[in-house]
């Protein structure tokens, strides 16, 4: 039994909520009378409510995000129906703006907007000790980051052993990209660096190896970036057990030589960069207040791809105001030419509070009124075309970003990557009528048929797809080739490669 339960629905089990851990770490004397309970999207509403009430809480605080607001609304409604005496407090980016317009906010007792680290704790004390506040909405106070208790001690051994460990060296963002809620920040605020690195060390000593930095601008302050990279390099180069895997969000056009030298020292499999290009269209960049030196960004991505072992995940956004299909296609082809490991094609969303909404009338932006508030049409891209782009994005994840089609993908993309893949996406949807639950073998077969229909030599298409299929570890049946003889040949070659040299000639016979 505890007085305060902090809860949220994560997209996957591997995602541990950093926000809830900040709230608990900053509860002060109330921390011992609190607990964190996390669920996964798709959990049954009644079971979630039952598990929450098993703690006999007086307060339940929910972290609300764009991906969980619909299910959280159902949970809050059921919770208030069966236990109206339990005080429900909401926080998180989804409920920090347009509070009056949201059903989940109407159902709740209190809403904390913005930063909740210290405001939730103060509100909880008032609720528990009285008198209860009369105001429903409480604007989160923003204390100096040195006064915020860091949350990393709230990660359990199970979290460290089985989930991503989310960390942040700074908050906020100095840029004004209007599709992002960080556009509302005035700057980026760093946490005290020495204490942050000390906390990383404690996590590492406890066995944490998968670190995801949520900073919007990791490489904004190079000295801090170098100190953090140096921490991980020290552990890697000392060969102290399993090496880490570290994810950073990188500003694409800011990569000084000192930073390049540090990045180049990381071995394969240890470093991943998420790089937000979003658009190469300069008039669109100006329209949405995005400052980006395209030439520098392009040169840096090329350098990272060719001179480092970092895994590059680069973002583009379809549906931005002022950008038509041809403009997006040019940007996509330009990015494919830089050969990042992944291209994440995102569809523009209207995040609550984000300034992108100011363009709604001028560019006839039509957003889905329900989460995730994705763009449905603009004055440049009509609804059917936007649907094609959404399918393009989904299939691109399945084929290109999956890494399973390394040999066949160049045959598919040819000299016109966007047009070629859009044609495949259209054909795949026409044949299957779905964007999910496409059987693995069927996907290979549809791609094989498409390559042949578009002039790829049959032997080349068959060889590439068969090799990709076997390399992926799959061992089913493909309609266009007998895979078993190829599998036997591959196993024989693997045995030859693994055997001592004196035995290799016998294994080949």
Q: What is the CATH number of the domain that holds 16?
A: 3.40.50.280
pLDDT (tens digit, 9 = 90+) per residue, 168-187? 999 998 888 999 988 788 78
Per-residue confidence (pLDDT) for residue 494, from 0 to 100: 66
- Give the residue with greater pLDDT, 478 vs 239: 478
Per-residue confidence (pLDDT) for residue 216, from 0 to 100: 87
Point out the domain boundary residue: 145, 179, 194: 145
pLDDT at 420 over 90: yes
Q: Which residue has the tokens 């609304």?
A: 73
Per-residue confidence (pLDDT) for residue 506, from 0 to 100: 45
Point out the domain boundary residue: 119, 145, 171: 145
Q: Which residues of 451-480 are buried (b: 16+ CB within 10 A; e: fewer)?
A: beeeebeeeebbebbbebbbeeebeeebeb
131 plus 161 within the same structural domain = no
Residue 358 is assigned to a structural domain of this protein: yes
Query: Which H or E run contains 366?
Result: strand 366-367
Residue 394 is assigned to a structural domain of this protein: no
Mean pLDDT, the chain, whole residue set? 95
H helix and E strand count, the chain: 19, 16
pLDDT at 477 over 80: yes
Peptide bond into 397 cis (omega under 30): no
Residue 249 is assigned to a structural domain of this protein: yes
Residue 393 is assigned to a structural domain of this protein: no
CA 120, CA 6: separation in Å to the nearest integer? 11
pLDDT range class, residue 419, cuts 50, 70, 90: very high
Point out the domain boundary residue: 126, 145, 164: 145
Nearest one of 28, 23, 31, 7 to 86, comparing CA atoms: 7
Residue 386 is assigned to a structural domain of this protein: no
265 plus 336 within the same structural domain = yes
pLDDT at 268 over 70: yes
Residue 150 is assigned to a structural domain of this protein: no
Per-residue confidence (pLDDT) for residue 497, from 0 to 100: 66
130 plus 39 within the same structural domain = yes
207 plus 238 within the same structural domain = yes
Token pair of 41, please?
């999207």
Q: Where are the alpha helices (DSSP H) in 7-101?
A: 18-25, 45-53, 69-82
pLDDT range class, residue 503, cuts 50, 70, 90: low
pLDDT range class, residue 395, cuts 50, 70, 90: very high
pLDDT range class, residue 501, cuts 50, 70, 90: low
164 plus 255 within the same structural domain = yes
CA 232, CA 270: separation in Å to the nearest integer? 9
371 plus 447 within the same structural domain = no
Residue 387 is assigned to a structural domain of this protein: no
Per-residue confidence (pLDDT) for residue 320, from 0 to 100: 98
- Mean predicted confidence (pLDDT) in 422-442: 97
Q: What percentage of residues in the chain have a pLDDT greater than 90?
A: 90
pLDDT at 454 over 70: yes
Host domain of residue 137: 4-145
330 plus 416 within the same structural domain = no
pLDDT at 463 over 60: yes
Q: What percentage of residues in the chain have a pLDDT greater than 70?
A: 96
Query: Going by C-beta distance under 8 Å and a sequence separation of 6 or more, which residues neighbour residue 486?
Result: 466, 467, 470
116 plus 223 within the same structural domain = no
CA 30, CA 22: separation in Å to the nearest integer? 13
CA 233, CA 259: separation in Å to the nearest integer? 13
pTM: 0.93
Q: Please check whether residue 263 is in contact with residue 308, taking contact to mean a CB–CB distance below 8 angstroms.
A: yes
pLDDT (tens digit, 9 = 90+) per residue, 108-140? 999 999 999 999 999 999 999 999 999 999 999
pLDDT at 508 over 50: no
209 plus 308 within the same structural domain = yes
217 plus 253 within the same structural domain = yes
63 plus 89 within the same structural domain = yes
User: Which DSSP state fits 69?
Assistant: H
Q: Which residue has the tokens 């390394």?
A: 406
Domain count, the chain: 3
Q: Please check whether residue 313 is in contact with residue 344, taking contact to mean a CB–CB distance below 8 angstroms.
A: yes
Lowest mean pLDDT among 141-155, 182-196, 341-355, 455-469: 182-196
Q: Please check whether residue 69 is in contact with residue 98, taking contact to mean a CB–CB distance below 8 angstroms.
A: no
Residue 196 is assigned to a structural domain of this protein: yes
476 plus 357 within the same structural domain = no
Domain CATH for 229:
3.80.30.20
């Amino acid at each position: 039994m505890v007085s305060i339960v902090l809860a949220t629905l994560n997209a996957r089990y591997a995602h541990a909520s950093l926000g809830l851990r900040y709230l608990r770490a900053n509860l002060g004397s109330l921390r011992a009378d609190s607990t964190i309970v996390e669920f996964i999207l798709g959990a049954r509403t009644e079971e979630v409510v039952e598990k929450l009430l098993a703690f006999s809480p007086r307060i339940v605080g929910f972290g609300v995000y764009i991906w969980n607001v619909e299910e959280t609304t159902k949970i809050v409604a059921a919770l208030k129906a069966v236990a109206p005496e339990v005080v429900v407090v909401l926080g998180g980016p989804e409920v920090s703006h347009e509070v009056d317009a949201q059903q989940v906010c109407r159902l709740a007792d209190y809403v904390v907007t913005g930063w909740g680290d210290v405001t939730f704790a103060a509100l909880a004390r008032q609720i528990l000790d009285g008198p209860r506040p009369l105001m429903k909405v409480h604007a989160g106070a923003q204390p100096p980051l040195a006064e915020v208790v860091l949350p990393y001690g709230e990660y359990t051994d199970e979290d460290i052993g089985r989930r991503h460990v989310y960390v942040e060296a700074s908050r906020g963002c100095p840029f004004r990209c209007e599709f992002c809620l960080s556009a509302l920040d005035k700057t980026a605020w760093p946490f005290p660096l020495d204490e942050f690195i000390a906390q990383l060390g404690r996590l590492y000593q406890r066995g944490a190896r998968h670190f995801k930095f949520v900073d919007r601008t990791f490489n904004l302050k190079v000295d801090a970036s170098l100190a953090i990279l140096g921490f991980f390099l020290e552990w890697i180069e000392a060969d102290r057990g399993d090496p880490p895997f570290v994810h950073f969000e990188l500003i694409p056009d800011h990569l000084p030589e000192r930073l390049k030298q540090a990045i180049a020292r990381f071995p394969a499999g240890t470093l991943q960069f998420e790089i937000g290009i979003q658009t190469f269209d300069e008039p669109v960049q100006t329209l949405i207040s995005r400052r980006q030196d395209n030439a520098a960004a392009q040169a840096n991505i090329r350098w990272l791809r060719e001179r480092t072992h970092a895994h590059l995940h680069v973002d583009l956004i379809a549906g931005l105001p002022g950008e038509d299909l041809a403009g997006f296609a040019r940007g996509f082809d330009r990015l494919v030419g830089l050969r990042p490991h992944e291209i994440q094609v995102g569809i523009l969303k209207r995040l609550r509070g984000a300034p992108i909404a100011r363009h709604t009338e001028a560019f006839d932006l039509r957003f889905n009124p329900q989460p995730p508030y994705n763009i449905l049409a603009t004055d440049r891209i009509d609804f059917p075309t936007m649907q094609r782009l959404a399918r393009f994005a989904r299939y691109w994840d399945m084929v290109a970003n999956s890494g399973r089609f390394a040999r066949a993908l160049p045959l598919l993309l040819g000299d016109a990557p966007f047009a070629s893949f859009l044609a495949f996406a259209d054909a795949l949807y026409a044949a299957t009528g779905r964007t999910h639950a496409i059987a693995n073998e069927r996907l290979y077969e549809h791609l094989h048929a498409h390559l042949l229909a578009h002039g790829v030599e049959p032997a080349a298409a068959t060889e590439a797809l068969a090799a990709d299929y076997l390399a992926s570890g799959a061992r089913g049946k493909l309609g266009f080739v007998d895979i078993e003889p190829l599998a036997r040949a591959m196993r024989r070659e693997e045995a030859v490669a693994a055997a001592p040299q004196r035995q290799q000639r016998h294994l080949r016979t």
